[in-house]
Structure 1
Amino acid sequence: MIKSIVSPSSKAVTRQSFDDMLAATRALDPIKTAVVHPCDDASLQGALAARDEGLIIPVLVGPQARIQEEAIAAGLDLSGIEIVPTEHSHASAEKAVALVREGKVQALMKGALHTDEVMSEVVHKERGLRTERRMSHVFVLDVPRYSKPLLISDAAINIFPDLMTKADIIQNAIELGHALGVDTPKVAILSALETIYPKIPSTVEAGALCKMADRGQITGGLLDGPLAFDNAVSKDAAEAKGIISEVAGDPDILIAPDLEAGNMIAKQLIYLAGAECAGVVLGARVPVMLTSRADGVLSRVISAALAQLLVHHRVQKGVL
């Protein structure tokens, strides 16, 4: 499956985690998805590849003539695909969000426009897609030397999250872990060290978050922190420091202290460790596939798989 999607230039050793993820979608119906302003080759190819994998039914929202011109230039066939015409990117974002509110689509996929344009409509107080939970972004990485998908949050939305925002970030990531089939996701809350040290606030917040989980304020996962990155992902490092933990060395989720740290961790794994990535925004009424304009087809397809698994998980749980 993955071999047909990965670019020939990919240096990755394995894509087993993403293969397994796609296999889990095979029995599921595709979800109707508004593709926001797909006015370039990458956006259209990603949407069509996700359709061909049975993940989404794309609804293209954007300037119709421009979309069709891009498709012709790229040699892509848009026969049978619904196009909702708009004048420009801002209008595309507004219309796509309106389609969600009208119950006509079950997810959003970002196309050739800035993240801010999409998210400003998603978070709009009157016409947006807010819920009681803070929105956050989750990177899902297939790391060649790691045995399972690795979720990293938040690396794209919340710059300096406070304690309660971090609780929502964790709860969002746990929900995605459940959708991926992990009964009790293991959550490592990262800092620079593994002990509480008041001069490093992220260590104090990590301890508070673990106690919040003990008291039922965060549910569905197994939390530990603070943990430094080495003892979070390596059992040998954790044992060397005398850390006794069910999470250390085997996390499903890494929670970064802030956006800068999370973004750097994810991109270091991508560019230095050969990881492939996908991404989705959670905490809104529907999942938002928030890929970069530089991301390839594989990233867009796996992001669609995440959204499809999450939507069906919510339906099964009676949330939608």
Structure 2
Amino acid sequence: MIRSNLTFDEIRLGATASVNRVVMPDDVTLFAHVSGNLNPVHLPSSTGGSGEAPPAPSMWLGSLFSAVLGNLLPGPGTLYESQTLRFRARAHVGDELTITVQVIEKHPPRTVVLATRVTHGEALLAEGVAEVLAPTEHRVVEDATLPGLMLVRHRHFERLMAACRNLPPMRTAVVVPEEENALMGALAGARAGLIVPILIGAEAAIRATAEACHADLAGIEIIDVPSHDAGAARAVEMVLQGTAMTLMKGHLHTDELLRHVVKSQGGLRTTRRISHVFVMDAPALHDLLLVTDAAINIAPTLEEKVDIVQNAIDLAQALGIAQPRVGILSAVETVNPKMPSTIDAAALSKMADRGQIRGGLVDGPLAMDNAISLTAARTKGLKSLVAGRADILVAPNLESGNILAKELTYAAQAEGAGLVLGARAPVMLTSRADDEQSRLFSCAVAVLYATWQATGRSVVPPARPTTDVPR
């Protein structure tokens, strides 16, 4: 926007300028960061889900005059000298405010005095007097382009947690929680009412970890086993016996746990290929993004990819995505006989058209950019219901899937849940480096998936309209 100012000589007594602004949750969060004021009364999370909008900090209201003075009256080149403030009432998140300044005095050579007011409808929220130095030269300027800001907020994680609120907790065999993240993640799931943890491992090590973390294990069942292998075997046995509904990986290698999950005798195998899905909540994306397979199938065949895709579609439906869009990834968006991943992608797309894969829209090959960016898809002339809007990304192999998931976690600040599907029970398969929040997220996803399996319906409200919208 092009703006011009008023010099001291051009300003007239009684001149006014005003702007309107809605108080947004991000406004008060950013003000807390900038000012260091962490008073919970003003933070969006302080209402505890009561539905009440928090009051905006009063000094944030006072800061709004600066925009009117610096942009409009007198405009660019203005320098603040002083500001008095009197706060009459509170503004709340969601309120539309009017910020007004009016010239009441002029003192040569440059001083201008203005009455300042913030109102919400007929209510006066703040008033005061500003004294500024008006510019001496007429200027026409273009608004500066500021660096973008992104708040790392995981709204989909919060939405899935809310959907679990009225669901019963699942008895969960937690395998080898002998390290802080593993143990505290399980205990966090218990506090949130998502799981009833059964801790399986070396009891002395579990209790020592709890003591070091000042965690209370009162009332929590602990099964003492001599080794990681024995812990994994015992956890699988409990699922088969019906004394546990799901598994959670603790501080052991993935293959140590899965060896017992996939064994032909006494394991949890079904006719479906077992695969892993990361559920990613990235602040820069409008929707959840599922990535598969990044942890189990190293170089899956076309036949195995059919199950990998179907597993991911099932999970997406459990998370409230009624007809998930599946992008089969490759380096390009055209079929190239020299690139096997493009051949597989084309075959999977056609198999979905013929009903061999059910419940989702499948398209490929798609490069990463035109799978999640509608702009990139349009630039390349792709006409597809999936391109630019994918809910699920199917990687060509484990290496690329693992790189993609970890890039989202560490470069895009995504919060991720990990779940193994295709077995008789969901397996929460997180990295040993994952923090408590990630393990809590995995608990929520597992509960929602188990509910979908048991009832055939999702309890998660849709995150977007049913019409096509850009990701």
Q: What is the CA–CA distance in structure 2 between the aligned matches of 1:200 and 1:3, rounded to whole Å? A: 49
Partner of 1:255: 394
Change (3 A) 1:290 1:135: same
Aligned to 2:61: none
Indicate if the aligned counterparts of 1:155 and 1:261 stay in contact, CA closer than 8 A: yes
- 1:147-162 matches, cutoff 5 A: 147-162=286-301
Q: TM-score, normalised by structure 1?
A: 0.95
Aligned to 2:355: 216
* Structure 1 Cα separation of the partners of residues 231 and 220 of structure 2: 16
How far does residue 153 in structure 1 lie from its aligned partner after superposition? 0.1
Alignment correspondent of 1:237 = 376
The equivalent of 1:117 in structure 2 is 256
* Alignment match, 1:88: 227
Task: Quote how far apart the aligned CAs of 1:65 are.
Answer: 2.0
Q: Please name the residue that 2:205 is paired with.
A: 66
Contact 1:12/1:274 (8 A) holds in 2: no
Higher relative contact order (CA 8 A, sep 6+): 1
Counterpart Cα distance in 2 of 1:317 and 1:235: 32
Give the whole-Å Cα distance in 1 for the aligned partners of 2:45 and 2:432: 22
| CA displacement 1:90-145 (0-9 Å, x = unmatched) | 10000000000101111000111111110111111111100001100101111111
The C-alpha deviation readout for 1:23-45, integer Å capped at 9, x for no partner, is 11111111110000111111110
Who is 2:153 aligned against? 14
Q: In the alignment, what sits opposite 1:184?
A: 323
- Structure-2 residue corresponding to 1:36: 175
- What letter corresponds to residue 115 of structure 1 in structure 2? T
Counterpart CA distance in 2 for 1:13 and 1:67 is 33
1:277 alignment partner, SS class: strand
Q: Could you give the per-residue CA deviations for residues 187-244 of structure 1, whole angstroms, max 9, x where no partner exists?
A: 0000111111100111111110011111111101111111000100100000011101
Among candidates 277, 281, 284, match of residue 142 of structure 1: 281
Mapped to 2, the partners of 1:273 and 1:92 lie a distance apart of 35
The residue that corresponds to 2:466 in the other structure is: none
Please name the residue that 2:268 is paired with. 129
Which secondary structure state, in structure 2, belongs to the residue aligned with residue 28 of structure 1?
coil
Superposition RMSD on alpha carbons, in Å? 1.5
Runs of 4+ in 1 over 2 A off after TM superposition: none
SS for the counterpart of 1:126 is coil
Unaligned runs of 5+ in 2: 1-43, 47-149, 458-471
**Residues 253, 3 of structure 1: alpha-carbon distance in 2 compared, 3 angstrom cutoff:** farther
The answer for the alignment partner of 1:167 in structure 2 is: 306
1:12 & 1:273 partners in 2: Cα distance? 11
Unmatched tracts of structure 1, length 5 or more = 5-10
Mapped partners of 2:350, 2:175: distance in 1 = 40
- Per-residue CA deviation, residues 27-73 of structure 1 (Å, 9 max, x unaligned), is 11111100001111111100000111111010111122221121112
Q: Which has the higher helix share?
A: 1
Cα distance change, pair 12–103 in 1 and its aligned pair in 2 (3 A): farther
Work out the percentage of aligned pairs sharing the same amino acid. 54
Quick one: structure 1 residues 12 and 65, their matched pair in 2 at CA, closer, same or farther if it must change by over 3 Å? farther
Kindly provide the amino acid, as one letter, of the partner of residue 206 in structure 2.
I
- Higher-strand-fraction structure: 2
Name the counterpart of 1:98.
237
How many residue pairs align between the two structures?
Answer: 311
- What is the TM-score with the length of structure 2 in the denominator? 0.65
Which residue of structure 1 lines up, in the alignment, with residue 430 of structure 2? 291
